[in-house]
């Protein structure tokens, strides 16, 4: 049995807690729909929780490790940006919070690491609608660069999402991708699920070649 554990905030949760389906109604469920017909020994666990920040993930590492996952995906950061932007912080305090995010993220990966475990990181994102979210974009870009550097240092896969979501929004219309500028429609979730599925298949193919 291979256990794939999905960690994150409300984008990962997507109704898992309030509406009771164990995988939620978002990309985790769609990933299961794509993988399960070809992977009968796969178990996917959704531990995304609405409102979670990087520090909340870090507080729960013991419970995640107790599940003994072979694969972990992480999509986190937009609530950390929200705290920076919605709490009247000075630029200096925002920078401190960003640096703390980076340290906590690296510590989380240190605690989750195992030579026999695949960890996949995903880029936080925000849409430029409603208009006030345009102010968030530079912070999301900065956070993405920090995560990408951590991924490079630790030799982990980092899935870029922001630009692809932006391109899809231009192609289909922004309201076809997001409900409010942060949370995704079924189409938006499908994009993430497909990116994850491709990454997992590529990794499996590489292992087979090796």
The confidence band for 210, taking pLDDT boundaries of 50, 70 and 90, is: low
Which strands form 42-46's sheet, in the order they lie side by side?
42-46, 2-8, 71-75, 118-122, 157-159
Residues of the chain with pLDDT > 90, as a percent, come to: 92
Sign of the CA dihedral running 157, 158, 164, 165:
positive
Q: DSSP H helical segments within 60-185, as ranges?
A: 61-65, 78-86, 91-112, 137-154, 162-172
Rounded to an integer, what distance in angstroms lies between the CA atom of residue 124 and that of residue 11?
Answer: 10
CATH 3.40.50.1110 fits 2-209, yes or no: yes
18 pLDDT above the threshold of 70: no
Residue 206 confidence class, pLDDT cut points 50, 70, 90: confident
């Amino acid at each position: 049995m291979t256990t794939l554990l999905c960690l994150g905030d409300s984008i990962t949760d997507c109704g898992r807690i309030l509406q009771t389906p164990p995988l939620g109604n978002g990309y985790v469920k769609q990933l299961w729909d794509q993988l399960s017909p070809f992977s009968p020994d796969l178990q996917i666990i959704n531990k995304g929780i609405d409102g979670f920040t990087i520090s909340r993930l870090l507080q729960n590492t013991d419970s995640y490790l107790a599940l003994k996952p072979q694969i972990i995906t992480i999509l986190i950061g937009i609530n950390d940006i929200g705290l920076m932007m919605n709490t009247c912080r000075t630029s200096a305090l925002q920078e401190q919070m960003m640096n703390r995010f980076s340290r906590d993220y690296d510590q989380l990966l240190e605690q989750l690491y195992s030579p026999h475990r695949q960890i996949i990181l995903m880029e936080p994102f925000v849409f430029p609608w409603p208009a006030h979210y345009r102010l968030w974009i530079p912070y999301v870009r900065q956070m993405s660069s920090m995560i990408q550097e951590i991924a490079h240092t630790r030799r982990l896969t980092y899935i870029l999402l922001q630009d692809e979501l932006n391109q899809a929004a231009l192609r289909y219309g922004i309201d076809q991708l997001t409900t409010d500028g942060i949370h995704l429609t079924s189409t938006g979730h499908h994009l993430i699920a497909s990116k994850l599925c491709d990454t997992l298949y590529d990794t499996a193919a590489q292992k087979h070649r090796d």
